[in-house]
Amino acid sequence: MTDILDHWVSGASFAGASTRTAPVYNPAEGSVSREVRLATVADVDTAVQAAKAAFPEWSEASVAKRQAVMFAFRELLNARKDEVAAILTNEHGKVTSDALGEVARGMEVVEFATGIPHLLKGEIVQNVSTGVDVYSVKQALGVVGIISPFNFPAMVPLWFFPVAIAAGNTVVLKPSEKDPSAAIWMAQLLKEAGLPDGVFNVVHGDKESVDALLEHPDVASISFVGSTPIAKYIYETASKNGKRVQALGGAKNHMLVLPDADLDLVADSAVNAGFGSAGERCMAISVVVAVEPVADDLIAKITERMSGLTVGDGTKGCDMGPLITKEHRDKVAGYIDVAIADGAEVVVDGRGVKADGGANGFWLGPTLIDKVPTTSDVYTHEIFGPVLSVVRVKTYEEGLALINGSQYGNGTAIFTNDGGAARRFQREVTVGMVGINVPIPVPVGYFSFGGWKDSLFGDAKAYGPHSVNFFTREKAVTSRWLDPSHGGINLGFPQNG
């Protein structure tokens, strides 16, 4: 008998009325570890009503109280990170060290949110007119909705809810139904940290629950992370329903290697950023753009490193775990056939990998494909797996044009020892996050995370300063305290004086 994971509403488990469930796998075994409920429209409404009821008191709680909850949550998360890392490895498949890294990067946002008293400061100008002051304040929005993807079941929700809650909002989170348990674990931890019931709620589900959030009149904003087609749908639908929306989409991240780069550093970086988390990172490097004549040497160095990588159950100290589902594994593996059909050279084929894990695990080994035509689906599609492509170009300009021609603009990196070239690249490239000799340039928690083009719909990035603006409404107050108290009649529009 597998157990069924419930929603979390008003500080307690909530089964709701739905009879639909979905399987949650242990991808290293290929077996179902539990089922998760898929919420109905009415279940989502119950969660939204709980969040709505909690809003007046929470938004009026002192900033010091809200800050104290964040400090307590940060301490609990740090003390018990091994617990959530184990959940991540069990349901996502990522190796333990990577799961702990995910928690650490998410915790940065909690740490940022502990600074909420400073972050909520408004502005004031006195005497804009004689005896008149103008100041601005930031106030919470109300109930905010968060919809997250499978690849970072803890970190992506953490990109949003700490700042949302610290700013005085109440939350309904709809995590990925593929690995939903970390969200419930965090909900329980928030309660332990002293968060009042109803401030943070979790509903599990699929399109039905997402649409219910997008259409709910009591949801003020939507923060989404996932694939580009869904991000676009979320942006359009939530906007049409009058909500503030930020929708982060997919990616195809290029690493541009100039001939003067340190090729050992490049090879290490390409392997780490290409195959870490089995390539299921929105900031994974999926294309190495080699400016000739470096390609042959670089491929030799990458191949040598790949031969030492171990694949298996994430709890066994391997370098790389399985993919999230059998369907996704098969889809990713299918791109290797596409590459061959399109005339590319498969240098390392991960399909025959010997994994240290279950016989039915969703395994695909690290794969390297050279001479990928830029017209091939292997180049133009987001593969989201351990498949690294190499495209050879003759010049910096040719490489830059490729990157800027991509529909995506999430992350990119340049590897060079030429400061002038690096400076030029970071100015000329049309990508939101740029690494210089750094392959995965995920900004620290006090900057903001987000791409350009089809990698982000809306104008607000995740976490950092953008998130404070996203999760608050600014109010400008013009105030006059008269002494003596009189005004006089003047029907004209007020002017300075």
Among 157, 226, 274, 435, which residue interacts with ligand NAD (rule: CB under 6 A)? 226
Sign of CA dihedral 97, 439, 264, 280: positive
Would you count residue 151 as binding ligand NAD (CB under 6 A)? yes
Residue 451 interacts with ligand NAD (CB under 6 A): yes or no = yes
Q: How far is the CB of 72 from ligand NAD (least distance, A)?
A: 28
Per rule CB under 6 A, is residue 230 in the interface with ligand NAD?
yes
Which of 10, 33, 188, 227: binder of ligand NAD (CB under 6 A)? Answer: 227
Which of 27, 168, 250, 350 touches ligand NAD by CB under 6 A?
250
Q: Which of 96, 170, 406, 410 binds ligand NAD (CB under 6 A)?
A: 410
With respect to ligand NAD, which residue has the nearer C-beta, 177 or 370? 177
- Residue 86 Cβ, how far from ligand NAD at the closest point, in Å? 21
Residue closest to ligand NAD when measured from CB atoms: 226
Does position 149 interact with ligand NAD (CB under 6 A)? The reply is: yes
**Single residue of 70, 119, 193, 248 touching ligand NAD by CB under 6 A:** 248
Beta-strand runs (E) in 49-192: 124-129, 132-140, 143-147, 170-174
Cα 50 to its chain centre, rounded Å, is 26
Cβ proximity of 172 and 47 under 8 Å: yes
For position 282 contacting ligand NAD by CB under 6 A, the verdict is yes
Query: Judged by CB under 6 A, which stretch of 121-129, 171-179, 261-269, 399-407 contacts ligand NAD?
Result: 171-179
Q: Do 54 and 196 touch, CB atoms closer than 8 A?
A: yes
Does 455 bind ligand NAD (CB under 6 A)? Our answer is yes
Please give the Cα distance from 396 to 256 (Å, whole number). Answer: 8
Q: Which residue lies nearer to ligand NAD by CB, 248 or 468?
A: 248
Residue 432 binds ligand NAD, judged by CB under 6 A: no
By the rule CB under 6 A, 109 interacts with ligand NAD: no
Minimum distance between the CB of residue 282 and ligand NAD, rounded to whole angstroms? Answer: 3
Q: Is residue 269 a contact point for ligand NAD (CB under 6 A)?
A: no
Q: How far is the CB of 454 from ligand NAD (least distance, A)?
A: 10
CA distances from 53 to 67, 78, 117, 143, 222 (A): 21, 30, 24, 10, 19
Look up residue 209 and give its two tokens: 């629950």
Instruction: Tell me whether residue 191 is exposed, middle or buried, using C-beta atoms within 10 angstroms of its C-beta: 0 to 12, 13 to 18, 19 or more.
Output: middle
CA distances from 29 to 86, 357, 363, 365 (A): 15, 7, 10, 16
CA distance 395 to 162: 44
For the question of residue 282 being annotated catalytic, the response is yes
Tokens 């990508």, residue located:
431
Residue 432's contacts (CB-CB under 8 Å, 6 or more residues apart) are: 409, 410, 411, 450, 451, 452, 455, 456, 461
Closest CA to 320 of 385, 224, 267: 385
Residue 228 Cβ, how far from ligand NAD at the closest point, in Å? 6
**Where are the alpha helices (H) located in 241-325, listed in sequence order?**
263-275, 295-306
Q: Is residue 454 exposed (0-12), middle (13-18) or buried (19+ Cβ within 10 Å)?
A: buried
Binding mask 460-489 for ligand NAD (x = CB under 6 A): ------------------------------
Edge to edge, the sheet with strand 219-225 lists 12-14, 7-9, 200-202, 170-174, 143-147, 219-225, 244-248, 456-457
Residues 179, 324 contacting (CB under 8 angstroms): yes
- Asked whether position 274 contacts ligand NAD by CB under 6 A, the answer is no
Nearer to ligand NAD, 159 or 396 (CB): 159
Residue 146, token pair as written in the block: 């968060």
Q: Which stretch binds ligand NAD (CB under 6 A): 82-90, 146-154, 239-247, 489-497?
A: 146-154
Please state, in angstroms and rounded to a whole number, the distance separating the CA atoms of residues 4 and 168: 32
Does residue 91 bind ligand NAD (CB under 6 A)? no
What are the C-alpha distances in Å from 8 to residues 5, 44, 87, 460? 10, 11, 17, 28
Q: Does 382 bind ligand NAD (CB under 6 A)?
A: yes
Question: Could you tell me which stretch among 74-82, 186-194, 204-212, 366-374 binds ligand NAD (CB under 6 A)?
Answer: 204-212
**For 121, phi and psi rounded to 5 degrees?**
-60, 135
Q: Which of 256, 282, 290, 302 is catalytic?
A: 282
Nearest CA to 134 out of 475, 494, 474, 478 is that of 478
| Interaction between residue 207 and ligand NAD (CB under 6 A) | yes
Q: Should residue 277 be labelled a site residue for ligand NAD when binding is judged by CB under 6 A?
A: no
90 binds ligand NAD (CB under 6 A): no
Contact between 389 and ligand NAD per CB under 6 A = no
157, 168, 249, 365: residue in contact with ligand NAD (rule CB under 6 A): 249
Closest approach of ligand NAD to the CB of residue 450, in Å: 7
Q: Which of 29, 91, 177, 313 binds ligand NAD (CB under 6 A)?
A: 177
Identify the residue among 206, 218, 268, 349 touching ligand NAD (CB under 6 A).
206
- Collapsing DSSP to helix, strand or coil, 199 comes out as coil
Residue with structure tokens 């009415």? 42
Q: How far apart are CA 433 and CA 441, in angstroms?
A: 6
Interface with ligand NAD includes 147 (CB under 6 A)?
yes
- Of 176, 246, 389, 467, which one interacts with ligand NAD (CB under 6 A)? 176
Residues making contact with ligand NAD (CB under 6 A): 147-152, 156, 174, 176-177, 206-207, 210, 225-227, 230, 248-251, 282, 382, 384, 410, 451, 455
Catalytic residues: 282
